[in-house]
A and B are shown apart, each in its own frame.
Chain A
Amino acid sequence: MKAGEDGTYIRRLIPYHRVLHVFVQLSFFGLVSTGMPLKYSDAPWASWIMRFWGGYQNAGLIHRICASVTLGYFAAHLLFLIYYIGFVRKFRFDFFGPDSMVPRPKDFRDIYGSFQWFMGLSPRPRFDRWTYWEKFDYWAVFWGVGIIGGSGLLLWFKGFFGQFLPGYIFNIAIIVHGEEALLAAAFIFTIHFFNTHLRPEKFPMDTVMFTGRLSLEEFRRERPLEYKRLEESGELDKYRAKSPSGALLCISIPYGVFLLLFGFFLLVLILLGQFVY
């Protein structure tokens, strides 16, 4: 397999999703690193980070800009869903099919099968296009943006909401906002990082989210059902692609490694804030 050779790779993600994911990443890191000094204000690192941002006013501004980006990509994704399901699939989208993110009975069978495989009781379950942990990540973002975004908007526009909602709604909002953010950050920096990048098969990182492409061999091994389905329907050739260019990898690998390390750094601070101080 030579670099740039045609057909040795498979296209898994369209550029629209890859770009949206970069927005997800950047806004997420911005939100976490400006929000956590408040939640863990008793930790000594909190005031260092606040000083790094140039005061809580600046950190608040960055937090709100990143929040706007978050709501932006959320809206962009909803628009995509309408476009894809309505215009591309003409409303004949199978919500419980392999291309859908909606959980289906097979996902629960796969969870069971995975635990059996972990314990050496059976071979690995054969996955289709989206595995159960990928669906979990997807819905976690949905739920997270809804919960953190909703409570965040409430706190952002407190003057407006305070006109007709009782003030203790802000007390509830800040608990929900902070704890859900803790869940999201700690989840991304441990479970998501492991599931997608750090497990031995992928270590140190999986570049598919940046390049959109996966080698045919890996594709066949990781998504056997999808491979078989595409091969049988003859659609496989439709998704064949060139291997990702060196330039793209030169950008995406350092970027990805940087975010991994940055995530671990924030994780250490969160753990210190949660358990030490």
Chain B
Amino acid sequence: MRALTGGSAARRGIIVLWVMIVSLLPGLSLAASQSYCLSCHGQKGFSGGYVDQKRYEKSVHGIRPCTGCHLDVVSYPHPKKVAEVDCSVCHLAGTFGAPTQPARQYWLSVHGQAVREGVRNAPICQTCHGSHYILPPSNQQSRVNRKNIPHLCSGCHEYEYEQYMKSIHARTFFQMHDEKAAVCYDCHEEHRVPNVTQPRWELWVVRECGSCHRRELLTYRDTIHGEISRLGYTTVARCPDCHGSHDILPPSNPESTLYKGPNRVRTCRQCHPTATVSFTEYYAHPNMHDRARYPLLYYTHLFMSILIFGVFSFFSVHTFLWAYRSVKERHKTREEK
């Protein structure tokens, strides 16, 4: 017994030692490959591509060796044309604990789909994240930091960027410095980037708007528009149909699609071709519990509630007493027989 435990302790010692050596290896190889590669690539103005060692080491991949990503470089001299780095080697397989969910979501996104279909210039990981100096998104300097997102997306989506920069979201974000205001990826989901013409996204985005505009979502659900969309149909007015999307403005703004008058009539006419100014006095976000703002709805609801309560109060008492009496009478007649 003792021999056995003693032996196992020794074995454990060997394993620990082995693990220590193995875990040092990447460090050794890092030191080896980095200093080796940087003897050329670390020189400013190097024609084959300059890498700033200090910035690289501060990046999220800073402890990884060059050859950890540039897998086709195994010795020097390396081929003239080095292949584009494939992030999925770690980020789909989960090697070295790399997060895999973003890559998996990306692969199914419209961006990933475009890459799979071979669309030229379709965005790959590096398009948004950069390559050598990837910083965590929480870092202000990161390309994918919240406040850099609109500018990042504008690289391809220039028109949408211009529209967005006119919106109340952009104004709140960049002029009032309220970082809660929506930027591109709040509605378009950074890695998942779903197809905006698909019903799933069209319904999802309503809830997404509602995650900030909570009361508006609740009151929208009280209208026929909100009820039908909640049941899974997209052919009724959803938030962007009335409010616009990238260039969204508050209805009090004369430029808004919902500004009282011709703008609002035009917006309603998308679905209701005979809409007039009086038609557009419809409350798209009614709240029948708010007596101050919607007295008509409040008192209508109150009247109906009293009516329902009155009828059922009377008849439930009437019914229960009647049932009691009828059962009793039946027992009596049965006993008489």
Contact = CB atoms under 8 A, between A and B. Distances in A.
Contacts of B318: 114-115, 118, 133, 191
Interface in A155-189: 158-160, 162-168, 170-172, 174-176, 179-180, 182-183, 186-187
B168 interface: no
Interface stretch (B28-36, B130-138, B225-233): B225-233
B308 interface: yes
Nearest to B228: A56
B304 interface: yes
Interface string B298-334: 0011001101100110011011011111111110000
A264 B288 CA distance: 29
A168 B272 contact: no
A118 B221 CA distance: 45
A171 B274 contact: no
B48 interface: no
Nearest to A160: B274
A55 interface: yes
Contacts of A55: 233
Contact of B326 (A120, A176, A199): A199
B276 A179 contact: no
A179 B305 contact: yes
Interface residues of A, number: 46
Contacts of B159: none
A117 B325 contact: yes
Interface stretch (B139-147, B169-177, B184-192, B278-286): B278-286
B276 A162 contact: yes
B19 interface: no
Contacts of B321: 115, 118-119
Contacts of A194: 319, 322-323
Across the A-B interface, give the 6 residue pairs with the lowest CB-CB distance, nearest first. Answer: A167-B282, A162-B279, A118-B321, A159-B274, A179-B304, A167-B281
Given A167-B278, A187-B311, 16 more contacts: A41-B221, A41-B226, A41-B227, A41-B228, A46-B231, A118-B318, A159-B274, A162-B274, A162-B278, A168-B282, A168-B297, A180-B307, A187-B312, A199-B322, A200-B327, A200-B329
